[in-house]
Amino acid sequence: MTTERATEAGSSADEQPVDSDEGADVAQGMRSMLWVDHVTVSFDGFRALNQLSLVLAPGELRCIIGPNGAGKTTMMDVITGKTRPDTGRVFMQNGSVELTRMSEPEIARIGVGRKFQRPTVFEQLSVFENLELACKGHKDVFSTLFAKLSGEQGDRIESALQTIGLADQRSDRSGLLSHGQKQWLEIGMLLVQDPRVMLVDEPVAGMTHQEIDRTAELLNSLAGERTIVVVEHDMEFVRRIARTVTVLHEGSVLAEGSMDKVQSDPAVIEVYLGS
Ligand SMILES: Nc1ncnc2c1ncn2[C@@H]1O[C@H](COP(=O)(O)OP(=O)(O)OP(=O)(O)O)[C@@H](O)[C@H]1O
Ligand SMILES: [Mg+2]
């Protein structure tokens, strides 16, 4: 007799090979905030992600590094529902919620927020108005601005303004902000949506040293109450915020551990840090 396990959280898809760590992975996944379970994504036969597995504990701040084309952005696309994996699944909250069965808006609503590489703030609008739009859900700029903010939404915007350090700039036109400030505004636009999981792609690209320092402080202060995945090439920055670093290479995990551990790993030096 066969047992139907397909709907059971923690079972892997039938066609996936079972390796010796499988039992440990599943046990870890059941105690996780975010669990990427053997995900493969192919574009015209090219495997951008290849049996990628990753487990994040609640409140963890995880840095993902790896060479160009390693699959870092594709991984975020899969988690947020923008790209459907060929095989494998993604779960939230101890394996109880399967994101790979949900639509992009559903995944956003359940608490997965994403900051893209390029800032997407509305430059003509003020800092406050951008936060207001993000809070209300970006449907249509005009009607959204005229919809009334609830007290709770107002509180969330105030708190985000403080956290990102732009309280004094609230009425300034966003187009006048520095590059770093625009990136923080974008992080604020995530915060007002109160996500449990935040995915942040290359937050310090193009920033000044001072802005990088401030961004490290900001992300450090957010970890703990939220689970954060940061993709970044700037190793100085990664060292400042990383507890655990995952190195991706050719769509799989090449190494994982403390910054010191991965930086001294010969395989990591060869494919990434050596260049
Ligand atoms: N929509 C797509 N169609 C075809 N190929 C794609 C698509 N998206 C990504 N790829 C390919 O998949 C691979 C992984 O790309 P991805 O953008 O995930 O890498 P990355 O690790 O984010 O790199 P970078 O550090 O340069 O941002 C690359 O070879 C890329 O060309
Ligand atoms: Mg990328």
Ligand 1 site-directed mutation target among 39, 40, 43, most atoms within 8 Å of CB? 43
Ligand 2 centroid–CA 116 distance in Å is 9
Query: Which of 127, 100, 122, 124 lies closest to 112, judged by CA?
Result: 100
Could you identify the atom of ligand 1 that is nearest to the CA of residue 83? 1
Q: Tell me, what's the pLDDT at 275?
A: 56
CB 41 within 8 A of CB 250: no
Q: Tell me, what's the pLDDT at 16?
A: 43
Radius of gyration of the chain (CA): 19
Could you report the per-residue pLDDT of 27-57, keeping only the tens digit for each? Answer: 777 789 999 999 999 999 999 999 999 999 9
Ligand 2 centroid–CA 147 distance in Å is 35
Could you report the per-residue pLDDT of 69-81, keeping only the tens digit for each? Answer: 999 999 999 999 9
Is the beta carbon of 116 within 6 A of some atom in ligand 1?
A: no
Cβ-Cβ contacts under 8 Å for 94 (sequence gap 6 or more): 9, 29, 30, 31, 32
Is the beta carbon of 45 within 6 A of some atom in ligand 1?
A: no
Say whether pLDDT at 192 is over 60: yes
Query: Which of 114, 85, 116, 113 lies closest to 98, judged by CA?
Result: 85
Confidence of residue 178 (pLDDT cuts 50, 70, 90): very high
pTM of the model: 0.87
- What stretch of H or E contains 77? helix 72-79
Query: Which of 241, 119, 239 lies closest to 180, judged by CA?
Result: 119
Could you identify the atom of ligand 1 that is nearest to the CA of residue 66? 21
Q: Using CA positions, which residue lies closest to atom 5 of ligand 1?
A: 43
Is the beta carbon of 68 within 6 A of some atom in ligand 1?
A: yes
Q: Using CA positions, which residue lies closest to atom 6 of ligand 1?
A: 43
Is the beta carbon of 219 within 6 A of some atom in ligand 1?
A: no
